[in-house]
């Protein structure tokens, strides 16, 4: 995103992923919307690493996340490697802060110690699931006498710290996407805030950090909507003002199931490896749940900053349409300057394409531009610009190479050898003249010629292609095809 001047520090948003692997496209959308919102309002975009679930950590995941964000052009203002006034920005480095806040909740009777073992909790969960009810902790430890609690602590019995949810209370908050939301505490569990290993849960850590980092707007996925009342209660217990909330719609497969790896790629790095442009993926992801209010679909990053608003984020789930992504990739790729496409092409060619001039590559790109969907298509679809064909499309031979094709092309070669200017205009005139003299249509000469010089049955305009390849190359390739394909037809 453009490096706007941070002139409105009152707008502070964060993207807070867990380093459990790759960056999911849903995570990319969350990061994008936060970044767009910050840039639109000249605010601050923060990256915070939520690594308190130690059982799910993946080595190198933080570096991968940061690399993926940078590739997408989502540069954060504060976070790992960009220290600001509210660090550290890695939660495992903030344990003392969470412990202090948990002690406060214990002292104010808004939390209690729970000594239940994981075995007891799992047995209770299975029993409740059999009755098809939602699991809620039965508050066995809430009623323990203080003397028993003290003794268990002194004896070193492991415990968690649970939030004490008030009975028969309605928790209400306004969501910028969902509008007014109300949930009765009868449906809210006494959430664990501090685990037995001393690490906080997401609910505890994100509330504490959002307040201490002065987050003004929490923009996150819909899956956290049901947890927000717990967070609102924690803000109330601490005496803090909650931020504004905005919960983004789910990403769905075409069959409206939740987007998952079972039905296709979901990692940003997978799309990058396949040749999708970062600006195309960002454009596509931006439209998953948001629209500009009209029928525009193609945006660069600065255009997204200018147009984005939370008010235009939809409630309904967004369909991940791969065909739309492919189309957007084509549009962004084909709009690239020739110089950028040329550098990509040189990277794909042996020896960086040292045998080909910039002018030659630019001509090849001009003929290929409207046919490519991915950068690698420059070489995949246009290999004949860089090497003589060694095989010929069997279907093209069957349909395009006739009994007389070899004789007709031999006549053409004789004429090509003597023509003064080997240009697309001059070649077109020659083909019309010879077709007329032979009593055949232009296409009966054009199709076998294309097959001979490219090995393919389709491609860019033949006469332009021949001009770019040059007289010597064209004649050499036709003669080889005559040797290989004579007698075919």
Tell me the per-residue pLDDT of 138-167, one tens digit each, with 9 for 90 and over: 999 999 999 999 999 999 999 999 999 999
Tell me the per-residue pLDDT of 451-477, one tens digit each, with 9 for 90 and over: 999 999 999 999 999 999 999 999 999
Distance of CA 115 to the CA centre of its chain: 42
Helices (H) and strands (E) counted in the chain, each on its own, are 20, 11
In the predicted structure, residue 23 carries a pLDDT above the cut 60: yes
Q: What is residue 420's predicted lDDT score, i.e. its pLDDT? A: 87
Tell me the per-residue pLDDT of 380-417, one tens digit each, with 9 for 90 and over: 999 999 999 999 999 999 999 999 999 999 999 999 99
Q: Which two tokens stand for residue 141?
A: 């430890």
Contact status, residue 259 vs residue 317, Cβ threshold 8 Å: no
Contact status, residue 285 vs residue 29, Cβ threshold 8 Å: yes
Instruction: Kindly list the catalytic residues.
Output: 261
In the predicted structure, residue 131 carries a pLDDT above the cut 90: no
What would be the CATH architecture of the domain defined by 94-248? 3-Layer(aba) Sandwich (3.40)
In the predicted structure, residue 328 carries a pLDDT above the cut 70: yes
Q: Report angle CA 294, 298, 300 to the nearest 5 degrees.
A: 120
Helix (H) or strand (E) holding 122: helix 118-130
Tell me the per-residue pLDDT of 242-270, one tens digit each, with 9 for 90 and over: 999 999 999 999 888 888 766 667 899 99
Place of tokens 């030659």: 360
Q: What is residue 263's predicted lDDT score, i.e. its pLDDT? A: 62
Tell me the per-residue pLDDT of 45-101, one tens digit each, with 9 for 90 and over: 999 999 999 888 999 999 999 999 999 999 999 999 998 999 999 999 999 999 999
Contact status, residue 118 vs residue 160, Cβ threshold 8 Å: no
The CATH number for 1-79+249-335, chosen from 3.40.50.150, 3.30.70.20, 3.40.50.620, 2.40.30.10, is 3.40.50.620
Burial 319-351 (b: 16+ CB within 10 A, else e): ebeeeebebbbbbbbeebebeebbebbeeebee
In the predicted structure, residue 2 carries a pLDDT above the cut 60: no
Contact status, residue 74 vs residue 41, Cβ threshold 8 Å: no
Lowest mean pLDDT among 30-34, 252-256, 367-371, 424-428: 252-256
Tell me the per-residue pLDDT of 175-203, one tens digit each, with 9 for 90 and over: 999 999 999 999 899 999 999 999 999 99
Residue 1 banded pLDDT, cuts 50, 70, 90: very low
pTM: 0.91
Q: Which fold has domain 388-489?
A: Arc Repressor Mutant, subunit A (1.10.10)
């Amino acid at each position: 995103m453009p490096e706007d001047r941070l002139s409105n520090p009152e707008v502070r948003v964060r993207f807070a992923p867990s380093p459990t692997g790759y960056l999911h496209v849903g995570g990319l959308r969350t990061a994008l919307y936060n970044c767009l919102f910050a840039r639109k309002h000249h605010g601050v975009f923060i990256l915070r690493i939520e690594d308190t679930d130690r059982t799910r950590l993946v080595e190198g995941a933080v570096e991968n996340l940061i690399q993926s964000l940078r590739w997408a052009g989502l540069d954060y203002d504060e976070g790992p490697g960009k220290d600001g006034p509210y660090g550290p920005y890695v939660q495992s480095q903030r344990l003392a802060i969470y412990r202090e806040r948990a002690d406060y909740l214990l002292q104010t009777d808004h939390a209690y110690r729970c000594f239940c073992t994981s075995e007891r909790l799992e047995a209770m969960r299975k029993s409740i699931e059999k009755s098809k009810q939602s699991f809620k902790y039965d508050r066995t430890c809430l009623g323990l006498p203080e003397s028993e609690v003290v003794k268990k602590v002194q004896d070193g019995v492991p415990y968690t710290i649970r939030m004490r949810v008030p009975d028969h209370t309605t928790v209400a908050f306004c969501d910028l996407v969902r509008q007014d939301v109300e949930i009765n505490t009868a449906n809210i569990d006494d959430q664990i805030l501090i685990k037995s290993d001393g690490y906080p849960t997401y609910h505890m850590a994100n509330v504490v950090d959002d307040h201490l980092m002065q987050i003004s707007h929490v923009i996150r996925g819909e899956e956290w909507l049901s947890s927000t009342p717990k967070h609102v209660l924690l803000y109330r217990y601490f005496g803090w003002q909650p931020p504004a909330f905005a919960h983004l719609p789910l990403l769905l497969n075409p069959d409206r199931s939740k987007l998952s790896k079972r039905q296709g790629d979901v990692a940003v790095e997978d799309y990058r490896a396949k040749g999708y442009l970062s600006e195309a993926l960002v454009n596509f992801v931006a439209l998953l749940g948001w629209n500009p209010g009209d029928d525009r679909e193609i945006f660069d990053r600065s255009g997204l900053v200018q147009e984005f608003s939370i008010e235009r984020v939809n409630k309904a789930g967004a369909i991940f349409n791969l065909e739309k992504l492919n189309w957007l990739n084509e549009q962004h790729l084909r709009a690239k300057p020739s110089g950028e496409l040329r550098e990509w092409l040189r990277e794909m060619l042996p020896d960086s394409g040292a045998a080909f001039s910039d002018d030659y590559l630019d001509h090849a790109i001009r003929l290929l531009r409207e046919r490519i969907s991915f950068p690698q298509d420059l070489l995949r679809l246009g290999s004949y610009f860089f090497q003589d064909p060694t095989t010929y499309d069997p279907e093209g031979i069957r349909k395009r190479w006739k009994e007389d094709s070899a004789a007709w092309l031999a006549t053409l070669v004789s004429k090509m050898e003597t023509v003064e200017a080997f240009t697309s205009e001059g070649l077109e005139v020659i083909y019309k003249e010879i077709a007329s003299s032979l009593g055949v249509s232009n296409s009966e000469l054009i199709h076998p010629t294309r097959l001979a010089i490219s090995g393919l049955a389709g491609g860019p305009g033949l006469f332009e292609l021949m001009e770019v390849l040059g007289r010597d190359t064209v004649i050499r390739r036709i003669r080889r095809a005559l040797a290989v394909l004579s007698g075919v037809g």
